[in-house]
């Protein structure tokens, strides 16, 4: 099983979204965020390449992938290192934002 490693900024962003969701929409919504995260992590541990490549982040050296969170409102951006058997979660992306900003944040 692959190990999951969250980039510090991605981890902080996730918990900021959870906190905001709890304040604005209630405890149930915040708990749903956490439940979805755990489900995604379980899938990534077993099948790290099962989500599609992120077309905005095409590179020769790394294949960035994405999975949707909270009804397609956000994307978790990650890449899989086969040698180390590690999934590196790089960012959480609000899909309503300008795509060029995602490119600048990751590259």
Q: How far is CA 8 from the centre of its chain?
A: 12
CATH code for position 75:
3.30.2310.20
- pLDDT tens, position by position, for the chain (107 residues)? 999 999 999 999 999 999 999 999 999 999 999 999 999 999 999 999 999 999 888 877 899 999 999 888 899 999 999 999 999 999 998 888 877 777 777 76
**How far apart are alpha carbons 88 and 93 in whole angstroms?**
15
Domain that holds residue 11: 3-106
**How far apart are alpha carbons 17 and 4 in whole angstroms?**
20
**pTM of the predicted model as reported, rounded to 2 decimal places:** 0.89
Task: Domain count for the chain, please give it.
Answer: 1
Task: Retrieve residue 86's tokens.
Answer: 């590690």
Q: Whose structure tokens read 């992590």?
A: 41
């Amino acid at each position: 099983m692959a190990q999951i490693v969250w980039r510090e900024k991605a981890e902080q962003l996730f918990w900021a979204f959870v906190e905001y969701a709890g304040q604005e929409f209630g405890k149930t919504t915040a708990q749903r965020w956490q439940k979805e995260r755990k489900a995604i992590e379980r899938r990534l541990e077993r099948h790290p390449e099962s989500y599609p490549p992120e077309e905005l982040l095409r590179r020769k050296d790394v294949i960035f992938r994405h999975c949707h969170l909270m009804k397609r409102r956000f994307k978790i951006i990650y890449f899989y290192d086969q040698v180390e058997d590690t999934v590196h979660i790089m960012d959480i992306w609000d899909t309503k934002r300008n795509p060029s900003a995602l490119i600048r944040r990751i590259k």
